Amino acid sequence: MNITLKVWRQKNAAAPGALVEYTVSGVVPEMSFLEMLDTLNEQLIAKGEDPLAFDSDCREGICGMCNLMIDGQAHGPDKEATTCQLHMRRYKDGDVVTVEPFRAKGFPLVKDLVVDRSAFDRIQAAGGFVSTHTGGAGEANAILIPHDMAEKAMDAASCIGCGACVAACPNASAMLFVAAKVSQYALLPQGQPEREKRVLAMREAMDKEGFGHCTNEYECEAACPKGIKLSNIARLNREFLRATLLTE
């Protein structure tokens, strides 16, 4: 089948950008959306044109690299799926699809559909590890953790840092990402030694990167490919208030 793409092309952050229309031929239903973009690039290269720049890595839904807005939806129309998990069986011959990069102050554009999401790395580095001297590591299985707490921590830890929550939020808020990273530690005994320091540092880093505030739009939860729940933001707020009171 043939698919018409309206794709955002932009040489760099300083250059003007625009939607450019392409027709991709030879698309089959078994292709992922990224494989369809590969096909487009093969056709562009064959014509001597500049290939489309877009991010991808594992193509298994776990790396968080494929940061595309497809018809105005982060990662496309499929619920709890990344772009690489979106298949062309979703579309029919002659469909027109608009593809744009994630847009947020905290995600500056690099080229075409590629944005710089290193702000997430800096936020996590600000508090997402344990630096306390704990001596020799004990046997993990000897630490008793209630099943429900372990499940909640694992659910939060499933965040892949793709940035869909930021792209979907009208305020470009990173609260769901930060909430997931804070929750995965706050719920476990291993995360207690630096509990207050961690949440304060990560919130400060988030604000420094220029992300917006959360106003409970729920778009982040709806767009998250891993189903991270908004309840984690409530936990983040509680952790931040607790840390503020304990460190005053």
In tens, the pLDDT along 182-216 reads 999 999 988 888 899 999 999 999 999 999 999 99
> Exposed, middle or buried: residue 142 (CB in 10 Å: 0-12, 13-18, 19+)?
exposed
* Superfamily of structural domain 3-111: Beta-grasp domain (3.10.20.30)
Following DSSP, what letter does each residue of 29-47 receive, concatenated?
A: TTSBHHHHHHHHHHHHHHT
Domain 118-130+146-247: CATH architecture, name and number where available: Orthogonal Bundle (1.10)
What is the model's pTM?
A: 0.92
* Domain ranges for the chain: 3-111, 118-130+146-247
pLDDT per residue rounded down to tens, the chain (248 residues) = 999 999 999 999 999 999 999 999 999 999 999 999 999 999 999 999 999 999 999 999 999 999 899 999 999 999 999 999 999 999 999 999 999 999 999 999 999 999 999 999 999 999 866 666 666 767 777 888 899 999 999 999 999 999 999 999 999 999 999 999 999 999 998 888 889 999 999 999 999 999 999 999 999 999 999 999 999 999 999 999 999 998 87
Same CATH fold assignment for domains 3-111 and 118-130+146-247: no
Pick from 165, 167, 1, 23: which is nearest to 90 by CA? 1
